[in-house]
Amino acid sequence: MADSTKSAPATGAKTNYDSETPQRLIDFMSQGWADAPLRAGAHPQLARLQSRRDALSRSFPGCYLVVPAGQEHVRANDTNFRFRPASDFAYLMGTGEPGALLVLEPEGASHRSVLFVPEHNRGKADFFTDRVYRELWVGRHRGLDESQIFFGVDRCRPLQAIPDYLQELATSNHPVQVLRGHNRAIDSLLPHDEQDDDFAVHLSEMRLVKDEYEIAELRKACEITKRAFEDVIRLFPSVKSEREFEGAFWNRARIEANDVGYLTIAASGHNACTLHWNRNDGAVDRSALLLLDAGVECDSLYTADITRTMPIGGRYSQAQRAVYDIVYEAQRVAIDAVAPGNDFLEPNRRAMRVLAQGLIDLGVLNGTVEEALDPESQYYRRYTLHNVSHMLGLDVHDCAHARSENYRYGTLREGMVLTVEPGLYFQPDDATVPQELRGIGVRIEDDVLVTASGRENLSAILPSKADAVERWIADLTA
């Protein structure tokens, strides 16, 4: 980025590498632009999004509801990360631009929707001098009129009106509920209320059960993720670095979708024993396993979250296979426990029993399964570390603010989507583990929909049984 014309300051302020801008140039740049006709139709899921906003309205009568899309975040100095709207905003609006703000204003027994967005700025000096919001730098906005049509809101207003508007809200006679943590300026303008936490909880719990559109998007995310896994596998015969795996996966995510849903874990060899290994800078040994934990995020922002642990050389060794088969069986019984009416932790309990017995069979633990699982000791956790499930949707760890009684200690319901991901991790320096097992880490993860009669494994399109994985690799690397 040596050319100063390619860099965008995070604040829009003039930098020390900018040229002076004479008034005559400002006048010249502010005129002579043709008016573009309205080009935006309605969001393709507008009816669904409006029904969500209506449901939210019914739950908070008489309250102002303030939902920011979020801000761009600085990556380094004057360059930002690619913007992704806050998940709750996306749930209600479908998409959004940096700085956008949705407010549901109380109106009788319901609410009026007001959306603050960047306005068109051709014909204004900052059209070419402001590098954060202005269209010559960042591309054409929908503007006010197109946004009102696209999002189906009652009114659109420009971003510049937000400070004065929020100051008026702060002195309103109505309660104001704010979704906090996404826009520091908005948080600072409205005093914190303990009811804000309840607002975040409510939005998370709205998202616990997925509708048919959300399920279709998660299924699509799994399908693209399968193709990304196959891009990675094709590298097995020649790969030198974990970065090649990460790059191949990300390339597919950007070609067919929006991005990855989280930082890819491409952990080879003993790096697989580090649960969130995303440095992905290790050298690759073809006798080792690759633990690839990765998911594609669709343009709708719904993401897959899938893990496969695969032999880079094409065949599991005897020790690798022994560990893998235990994890596979633990996942099998856990997936069988995903059903409406079961509690959320039932898959975990069943998986842990299999893992504990497997640890005994491998000679890692002594005693009985009951002793290994004793709540007062839980020695098995040294080698498995995590539970097997979390909710999945717009976020890879979805519905994070839901109450424990409706999530961790809640009951599974039709339309919920959760991961099932048992694992065993034998650290390379763990002296309690037989030498031949040290450095082996295995996790298998699938995305499972709760149906009326049981479950659907949305990611079963990726092979997971050891023999099937070996055939998968052979077919792709032949």
Triad 34, 36, 40: Cα angle to 5°? 170
- Please, are residues 443 and 307 in contact by the beta-carbon 8 Å criterion? yes
Cα–Cα separations (whole angstroms), residue 238 to 222, 235, 246, 285, 313: 26, 6, 15, 11, 10
Mark whether 202 is an active-site residue: no
- Among candidate residues 324, 443, 446, 455, the one labeled active-site is 443
Mark whether 293 is an active-site residue: yes
Task: State the DSSP code for 310.
Answer: E
Mark whether 308 is an active-site residue: no
- Cα 200 from Cα 178, distance rounded (Å): 8
Token representation of residue 212:
């048919």
- Among candidate residues 18, 54, 78, 256, the one labeled active-site is 78
- Among candidate residues 386, 403, 408, 438, the one labeled active-site is 386
- Among candidate residues 174, 184, 397, 471, the one labeled active-site is 397
Mark whether 336 is an active-site residue: no
Token representation of residue 153:
């809101």
- Among candidate residues 39, 73, 276, 471, the one labeled active-site is 276
Q: Is residue 117 helix, strand or coil?
A: strand
Mark whether 443 is an active-site residue: yes
Place of tokens 């949305």: 458
Mark whether 193 is an active-site residue: no
Mark whether 174 is an active-site residue: no
Strand partners, 92: none
Alpha helices in 318-454 (DSSP H): 318-336, 346-361, 369-373, 381-384
Helix axes 212-233, 466-477, angle to 10 degrees: 60
Place of tokens 């954060």: 132
**Rg for the chain (alpha carbons), in Å?**
26
- Among candidate residues 445, 446, 447, 455, the one labeled active-site is 445
- Among candidate residues 88, 297, 305, 346, the one labeled active-site is 305
Token representation of residue 464:
């997971």
- Cα 37 from Cα 32, distance rounded (Å): 16
- Among candidate residues 119, 146, 242, 293, the one labeled active-site is 293
- Please, are residues 138 and 118 in contact by the beta-carbon 8 Å criterion? no
Mark whether 78 is an active-site residue: yes
Mark whether 198 is an active-site residue: no
- Among candidate residues 425, 446, 447, 455, the one labeled active-site is 425
Mark whether 194 is an active-site residue: no
- Among candidate residues 52, 53, 84, 390, the one labeled active-site is 390
Mark whether 325 is an active-site residue: no
Catalytic positions, written as ranges: 78, 276, 293, 305, 386, 390, 397, 421, 425, 443, 445
